[in-house]
Amino acid sequence: MKRESFEAEASGIDAIPRYCGEVTVGCSDVAGIVEAVARSSERLREEHAELAATIGALEAEQRQVTDASDEARMLSQKAVDRLFKGTDLIRSSLGQVAQLLATVDTLTQHVTGFAAAMEQVRRTSQDIGRIADTTNILAFNAMIEARRAGDAGKTFAVVADEVKSLANNTRKATEEISRTIDTLGSEAEQVVTRIAVGAQASDEARGSIASIEGTLGEVIGLVEEVDRQNALIARTTGGVGVHINDVRKVVASFDAATVENEAQLDTAHARMEQLEMTANVMFDKIVGAGLSPADSLMVERAQAAAREIAELTEGALKAGELAESALFDRDYQYIPGSDPKRFANRLMPWANRCWRPVYDRIVASDVQIMAVACTDMNGHLPAHLSEFSRDPTGDRAHDTKHCRNGRIILDAIDRKAKESRAPYMMAVYRQEGDGRSYKVVRNVYAPLEIAGRRWGDLELAYSFG
Residues 130-153 pLDDT 10s: 776 776 676 667 667 767 777 666
Q: 72 with 95, same domain?
A: yes
For residues 269-276, average pLDDT: 64
| pLDDT tens for each residue of 8-44 | 444 555 566 666 666 766 666 676 666 667 666 677 6
Amino acid letter, residue 242? V
Assigned domain for 304 exists: yes
Instruction: Write down the mean pLDDT value for the chain.
Output: 77
pLDDT at residue number 2: 43
Question: Cα–Cα distance between 447 and 420 in angstroms, integer?
Answer: 9
Residue 271 confidence (pLDDT): 65
Model confidence pLDDT, tens digit, residues 74-83? 776 776 677 6
> Where does the pLDDT of residue 327 fall: very low under 50, low under 70, confident under 90, or very high at 90 and above?
very high
The reply to whether 272 and 127 lie within a common domain is yes
* Residue range 178-211, pLDDT digits in tens: 777 677 667 666 766 766 666 666 666 666 666 7
Same domain, 322 and 196: no
Q: Write out pLDDT tens, residues 109-131.
A: 666 666 666 677 667 766 666 77
Among residues 290, 315, 343, which one ends one of the domains?
290
Is 2 among the domain residues? Answer: no
Is residue 102 included in any domain, yes or no?
Answer: yes
- Which carries the bigger pLDDT value, residue 418 or residue 87? 418
> Is residue 8 in a domain?
no
- Gyration radius (Cα) of the chain, Å: 61
For 328-352, how does the pLDDT look when each residue is reduced to its tens digit (9 = 90+)?
999 999 999 999 999 999 999 999 9
Q: Rounded distance, CA 414 to CA 69, Å? A: 65
Residue 365's domain is classified under what CATH number? 3.30.450.20
Residue 10 lies in a domain: no
Cα–Cα distances in Å, from 8 out to 3, 27, 375, 400? 9, 28, 40, 44
pTM of the model: 0.53
pLDDT at 451: 92
| pLDDT tops 50 at residue 463 | yes
What's residue 147's pLDDT?
72
The mean pLDDT of 305-314, rounded to a whole number, is 97
- 311-330 exposure pattern, b = at least 16 Cβ within 10 A, e = fewer: eebbeeeeeeebeeebbbbe
* Cα four-point dihedral sign 337, 343, 346, 349: negative
Cβ atoms of 428 and 19 within 8 Å: the answer is no
Nearest to residue 346, comparing CAs of 296, 382, 398?
382
**Is residue 234 scored above 60 in pLDDT?**
yes
Query: Is residue 268 located within the same domain as residue 410?
Result: no
Tell me if 12 is assigned to some domain: no
- Do residues 278 and 307 share a domain? no
> Residue 309: how many CA atoms within 13 Å on its side-chain side?
36
Mean pLDDT of 62-76: 69
Total count of domains within the chain: 2
Measure the N-to-C terminal CA separation of the chain; round to a whole number of Å: 30
DSSP category for residue 333: E
Q: Which domain holds residue 353?
A: 292-462
Residue 126 and residue 272 in one domain: yes
Q: Does 232 lie in the same domain as 179?
A: yes
Lowest mean pLDDT among 78-82, 358-362, 376-380, 422-426: 78-82
Co-location of 303 and 341 in the same domain: yes
For residue 361, pLDDT over 50 is answered with: yes
**CATH of residue 279:** 1.10.287.950
Specify the DSSP element, H or E, that contains 8: helix 2-149
Final residue in a domain of this structure, among 274, 290, 306: 290
Distance CA 96, CA 279 (A): 106
The reply to whether 161 and 142 lie within a common domain is: yes
* Mean pLDDT for the stretch of residues 364-387: 97
Q: What is the mean pLDDT of residues 285-303?
A: 89
In a domain, 174, yes or no: yes
Give residue 435's pLDDT: 46
Domain boundary among 260, 290, 320: 290
> Over the range 248-271, which residues count as b (16 or more CB within 10 Å of their CB) and which as e?
beebeeebeebeeebeebeebbee
Task: Using pLDDT thresholds of 50, 70 and 90, give the confidence band for residue 6.
Answer: very low
In the chain, what percentage of residues exceed pLDDT 70? 51
Tell me: pLDDT of 410 over 70.
yes
Q: Where are the beta strands (DSSP E) in 297-452?
A: 333-334, 343-344, 369-376, 425-432, 438-450
Q: How much is the pLDDT for 95?
A: 67
